[in-house]
Each structure stands twice: as structure tokens, then as C-alpha cells.
A = this chain, B = another copy of it.
Amino acid sequence: MVVRRRRRTRGPTVNEFDLVLPAAVDIREVGMRDGLQLEAPVPLDAKLEMLEALVATGVRRIEATSFVSPRAVPALADADAVAAELSRWGDVHWSALVANPRGAVRAVDAGVADLEYVVSASDGHSRANAGRSTAEALGAVPEIAGLAHGAGGSLEVVIATAWDCPFDGRTPIGRTVDVARAAVTAGADQLCLGDTIGTTVPLRVVLLLDAVRRACPGTPVGVHFHDTRGTGQANALAAVQAGVTQLDSSVGGLGGCPFAPGASGNIATEELVYLLEESGVRTGLDLDAVLAAARVTEHAVGHELPSSLYRAGGRSVPRGDAVVGSTS
């Protein structure tokens, strides 16, 4: 879908526009991993109900779990048990996050060979999140890539704090580009830029995407946005306009820190699907099925989900909205 129209007159304001959108995008559902990782542990049965509902949405990429320390992330301590169930759903591309080669061995042994590995672009976050510097985290890429490739899979390096770090402040573009280049050189098949703390904005999205893609020609680059400051969907729009077709999102917007009430988590899958599908961009997901999955998810985690669309009841229009004086 391309909307392009050049206006003839130019004045002090910009009065031309280009809204260039791809025909289709490929959403990755991360609710099972990034969404659940900070929640109280959800029983396996409830996770399988979530997975069943997510598969029914039509999404073709699902991050199923994370093979990390059960002490660090007790909510995902059942990664092996979850992985053992995935074969019941055939038509989905499953992936899992790993924190080190040991996790990669676990994942591959459990039958998940498409791996994600997080490298924080900032040392501050890298040390807090993974107990090592960015350079040290990059040092594990060859081994993890080798494990994935040896099992017939692939490795995506997710660059956390790609735009900003809660410890080190703004991440220089050159630093994120260096991490991207190093990751690809070390064996990453794909990259994902993570706005870990939900601070980036559309201009910074397109500037970083451009720099990373020029540094890593031929490597697919996806995006992972959080909606902490209300900019997540606008950032997704900017990324899609920049030609990105691989986007992470989480059913119901799950992923907010339970210790920071009101802080939103990942961008909500249903909001992304609504925004894109209604703008003529195919996602392959059925909005009503995503909302149904959100209901299952809400039941599983036992608290309200942050997604505005979900709370508004979906695409349908609440009639009561109009019965007031002077609305606009």
C-alpha cells in the first residue's frame, strides 16, 4: 500500500506527504517470553492455553520461551516443558531466547533451533541484565551461532538499549551500529533493535534503522518497541515506513513491570494489527482472535492488561461514547 502525493506549493510549513507502507509485515508474538518473564509464574496448562489461542490468531512467528536461569527468571523455568509441547502446532515458526551458550544447548536439545540472544548496546544495561560488558556479551555470539546453525537453525541478535539505557543514558548511534556489525560478523543471521525502556521516538527510529542497515547490508533488521511513553505504535509506524517488516509485539501489551504500576509493556499485538490492517498492510493475524488470546492471557496472569484497544472492547464502537453533549 503506497500513498504518495506531491503537492505543488511549498510554504513555510511542509505541505507534502509520503506515507509509504509495505504490503505486508511479519509480526513476532513475544507475549510468552517478554510478556510473561516478569509475571508470577503461570502454570504450564495455562501457558498451553495461551499458546493455543495465539496460534489461532494466525501469527506465524512466536517466541515461545527463554532458556535462562530459573533463578533469574522463575516465570520461564518451565522452558523445556513448554518446548516439548510445541510440536502439536505445525504451522508456526518457533523461537526461544537464550542468555548464553549453555542456554543455547538447552534450547537445541529441547528442539528449538531458532534462537535469540540479547546483547545490550550499553555496558550499564549489559552488566545489570547479564552481568558482563557489551564486548563480553558479543564474545559469546560465535558459539551460540554455531550451536544454532549446527542444529539447522538461526541466530537473531537482539540489541537491547539500542536507543537509550537506564544507566548510561542515550546510546550513541555509532555504538549500536558497532554492536550490530560485530554481531553479524560473529555469525548472527538477523538483528532486532530493542527500545528496552520505551524512550525512543520516530525520528530516532528511522535514523538508527538507516545506520544499522547500511552497516549490515543484507541482514534483516526487526524492531522491538515498548509503549512505556505512549510512542510505541508511532515508532512502529515509522519503522514500517522505513521498510521494516519484522516487528515484535505482545498480546494485550503484556510485559510491563509489575513493580511499576501503570507502566506499559511491549506494544500490544492487537493495536499493531489494528493499525496496520486498517491501513492496508497485511499482517496475517485476525484481530478478533488476538483479542480472544488477550482474554486468555488476562485470565492466565490474573491482572488487567495495558492494551487500550483491548480495554476499549476491540474495533467495535461503544455506543455510549456519543450520548453526551458537544463531543468532538
In the complex, the answer to whether B243 meets A13 with C-beta atoms within 8 Å is yes
Q: Which residues of B contact A22 (CB under 8 A)?
A: 13-14
**Complex Cα spacing A12 to B206, Å:** 20
| Cross-chain contact of A99 among B166, B237, B259, B326 (Cβ < 8 A) | B326
- Closest Cβ–Cβ distance, residue A108 to chain B (whole Å): 18
Q: Which residue of B lies closest to A210 (CB)?
A: B5
**Number of A residues whose C-beta is below 8 Å from B?**
103
Q: Which residues of B contact A97 (CB under 8 A)?
A: 326, 328
Which stretch, A45-53, A80-88, A181-189, A222-230, touches the partner chain B?
Answer: A222-230
- Closest Cβ–Cβ distance, residue A35 to chain B (whole Å): 12
Number of copies: 2
Which stretch, A54-62, A146-154, A172-180, A192-200, touches the partner chain B?
Answer: A192-200
In the complex, the answer to whether A19 meets B308 with C-beta atoms within 8 Å is no
In the complex, the answer to whether A18 meets B241 with C-beta atoms within 8 Å is yes
In the complex, the answer to whether B68 meets A328 with C-beta atoms within 8 Å is no
| Cross-chain contact of A206 among B3, B73, B125, B166 (Cβ < 8 A) | B3
Decide if A142 is an interface residue (CB 8 Å cutoff). no
Decide if A190 is an interface residue (CB 8 Å cutoff). no
Q: Which residues of B contact A263 (CB under 8 A)?
A: 308, 311-312, 318, 321
**Complex Cα spacing A194 to B204, Å:** 28
Contact A224 to B328, CB < 8 A, known contacts A201-B275, A322-B196 = yes
**Complex Cα spacing A197 to B20, Å:** 26
**Complex Cα spacing A266 to B261, Å:** 21
Decide if A274 is an interface residue (CB 8 Å cutoff). yes
Best-buried of A73, A203, A319 by chain B (most CB within 10 Å): A203
| Cross-chain contact of A203 among B129, B167, B279 (Cβ < 8 A) | B279
| Cross-chain contact of A328 among B15, B196, B233, B326 (Cβ < 8 A) | B196
| Cross-chain contact of A118 among B3, B17, B200, B326 (Cβ < 8 A) | B326
Decide if A37 is an interface residue (CB 8 Å cutoff). yes
In the complex, the answer to whether B21 meets A309 with C-beta atoms within 8 Å is no
Task: Give the 5 A-B CB pairs with smallest separation, nearest first.
Answer: A72-B325, A262-B311, A203-B279, A230-B271, A17-B242
What 13 new A-B contacts, CB under 8 Å, besides A194-B328, A197-B317, A201-B274?
A1-B203, A3-B207, A17-B206, A37-B325, A66-B326, A128-B323, A164-B317, A165-B322, A201-B275, A230-B307, A260-B318, A263-B311, A306-B308
